[in-house]
A and B are shown apart, each in its own frame.
Chain A
């Protein structure tokens, strides 16, 4: 290669997928290129088939249309189209139009084939399925090799450091304590043969033996916690963390095919740098003042940053962050009940929206509502629940979960209703759907009981799912709603970017990327009558139900994880820089790799939106 072609080589190596080529290979590329100039408004190609070349936009802008003249993509500097360029997947016939005067590099099809054959990293880019490439992208984001820290990918079995230490239930307290201290463990499993019957911790010895002056020759079964909560060794670490965080345990016996495999302790997480989540939650329950809770929630950004640094998936980070707000909510309700007395009638505190879906990030507002037993009498009980919900919503606001701008909160009279009232609402929404009302209320189709009488919630959920399942008219409205946020077709100058104001020259990861997927999954779940609330869970569950193809659901899950992890990383960066985290990302902050995979993610969403619209809106 002539040294002067290095300028072109450097341009190539700044852009995906050429940057995947080893140096020796990329040095060959410039000499294979042809350079063409397309005046604004001209068609590309102007002769021959678009498959004769792979086109790389060097400068200018190109739009890609299919034969129905539907816009498929807007391309700018460094973008590819033509032969094998897969974001045109499923559109065998399409053509480009120069939207600005454009200088374009052409790589002959035969050369593309040759590079694909010789360079597997390069060929991934040209794989036919956007979803396939995306999966690759997700597994590629753990660049620093620290993915072993991933909570979602680590099985509990791999975290247990030693064989289980156990004692039979008839061993004396004294003997058990001796074994614990010899083995230097803070807890011990009580087993009968291979069956787990109980657990004893240092704390039990302190509280139930020493403090009470108990005879230490008594059998250990006397003071053990019987039938403790357990998890299977093939569960993921993050589930263990959630259990420990939610229920405030520090020791969790682990079984393998029903047999005792070992003990997982909070310390095992400490060694994996994710302590803060477990301890954050456990310290929530020690607080007696709203200020204390606020100081805990102020550490959530740090938690998010740690989890992002540990390469946790966006989905697991959502669960962990949500576990903290769940704990804060529960604690606020406990404090409210301490203050205002026990509830006069049973109630269920229900989270809606992102908290219900366990998809909160560093920046979320509160969406919640209250379902009360039908014995509720506004005259007798109204003041109590008004005070209770006021206390909790104010507390959440003080903790940074700001008041919902749409007033979708339990403090709003309309959203604090007995079960019968809620059934009436859902009956109305589902039987007589109105597009505008649905847009506002779709947040109530994602519900999760946080505290109180779970049965109230279950009844409501059964009621509404029975109504939505297979209800074509209602689903058509929901589908229409799900299509209201469309992912951008490409990053192109100001096209998808917000212009002016505080978020000038950015795009909105939430509304352009995440909301469309969440909306799709909600329609699938309601159509299938699925109980799942979390979007990943919904997609996983409906994949086998026929509402959506297996591949489609899989692709959407990957797309969600990819966009979600971009958002988490973006927010982690902002937190690190001392800025307030938000959902607005500048395209300049995207690596080329991210940029091209974000396009894949968007094309997956677009495809699935089209499928949905075909299904319900014809």
Chain B
């Protein structure tokens, strides 16, 4: 990442790019302000999102499916829960097909990324991106935007994995291998087990985990959005 993020905050950089950018889905996205960092977390909207991909490297791997749903303040609303399959431009490596269960035949029926990305950006408008290990989703979105529109992707990000790390640090607990996995983190909050590796199920699972994590913050005062987002 550039040094710009140390010099200008997110909102300033959004304004900067909005002025520079030609019309298109990304500019539409940037036209809506990000949620204010100072507001009570319950006044913000979040988009719980998850991708299934052919691998973990945004620079070389591809998105196969996306699932998302809105967290409106302290509740996950299922009304706009969405799941979309995305057609990859390469064959799906067997190693990843084993994990996400998306096969070439199904993927061939799916929509190309250039049709899906505007839908995702539209859903993200005015919201914080919420995911477990959000760097993956963020980087894949960034790559997609740079490839398709030539400009970077910006968004306030809430990472349930990072929140979980904070919890461990605060309690001065050692993190063992696997402790931060979505299912294991959910179990610590008494959340039910879901079948893993479907983009929408994982998005919902992350959304619920987020609600649990905030409910468990020890401070008596409700946190503000800035207390929950990761620096980006």
Chain A residues at the B interface, C-beta cutoff of 8 Å? 2-5, 7-8, 30-39, 42, 58-60, 100-103, 106
Contacts and interface: CB of A to CB of B under 8 A. Distances in A.
Interface in B210-226: 211-212, 215-216
A492 to B, nearest CB: 15
A100 B190 contact: yes
Contacts, number: 74
A3 B190 contact: no
Nearest to A35: B76
Interface string B182-210: 00000001111011001111001001100
A42 B212 CA distance: 12
A35 B207 contact: yes
B111 interface: no
A106 B75 CA distance: 9
Given A4-B200, A37-B189, A101-B190, A31 B78 contact: yes
Contacts of A33: 77-78
A60 B190 CA distance: 7
Interface in B69-115: 74-79, 81-83
A364 B204 CA distance: 53
B194 A7 contact: yes
Given A2-B200, A103-B191, A37 B77 contact: no
Given A35-B75, A103-B191, A4 B81 contact: yes
Given A4-B81, A34-B76, 5 more contacts: A3-B83, A37-B191, A37-B211, A42-B215, A101-B191
Given A59-B191, A103-B191, A37 B212 contact: yes
B148 to A, nearest CB: 25
A30, A37, A58, A100 — most chain B CB neighbours (10 Å)? A37
A595 B207 CA distance: 31
A39 B78 contact: no
Contacts of A42: 215
A421 to B, nearest CB: 63
8 contacts: A2-B81, A2-B83, A30-B81, A34-B76, A35-B77, A37-B191, A58-B192, A103-B192
A59 B211 contact: no
B44 to A, nearest CB: 16
A58 B194 CA distance: 12
A35 B211 CA distance: 9
Contacts of B77: 33-35
B67 interface: yes
A472 B192 CA distance: 54
Nearest to A5: B81
B43 to A, nearest CB: 13
B207 to A, nearest CB: 7
Given A37-B189, A37-B208, A39-B215, A4 B75 contact: no
Contacts of B215: 37-39, 42, 101
A194 B82 CA distance: 79
Nearest to A42: B215
Contact of B78 (A5, A38, A60): A5
Closest 8 pairs between A and B when the two form their complex, measured CB to CB: A4-B200, A101-B190, A37-B211, A35-B76, A39-B215, A34-B75, A59-B192, A37-B212
Contacts of A35: 75-78, 204, 207-208, 211
A30 B201 CA distance: 13
B227 to A, nearest CB: 17
A39 B75 contact: no
Contacts of B75: 34-36, 106
A501 B83 CA distance: 50
Contacts of A34: 75-78
Given A4-B67, A7-B195, A32 B79 contact: yes
A59 B67 CA distance: 23
Contacts of B190: 59-60, 100-103
Given A4-B67, A100-B190, A36 B81 contact: no
Contacts of B83: 2-4
A8 B194 CA distance: 10
A36 B73 CA distance: 10
A32 B75 CA distance: 12
A52 to B, nearest CB: 12
B82 to A, nearest CB: 6
A2 B201 CA distance: 11
Contacts of B216: 39
B82 A2 contact: yes
Nearest to A61: B190
B77, B82, B195 — most chain A CB neighbours (10 Å)? B77
B72 to A, nearest CB: 8
B206 to A, nearest CB: 12
A34 B215 CA distance: 16
Nearest to B207: A35
Contact of A101 (B74, B189, B194, B207): B189
A37 B192 CA distance: 11
Contacts of B76: 34-36
Nearest to A101: B190
B108 to A, nearest CB: 18
Contacts of B198: 4
Nearest to A33: B78
Contacts of A106: 75
B210 to A, nearest CB: 9
Contact of B79 (A31, A37, A102): A31
B189 A36 contact: no
A39 B189 CA distance: 9
A7 B81 CA distance: 13
Contacts of A30: 78, 81
B212 A8 contact: no
A36 B78 contact: no
Contacts of A38: 215
Contacts of A103: 190-192, 208
B211 to A, nearest CB: 4
Nearest to A1: B81
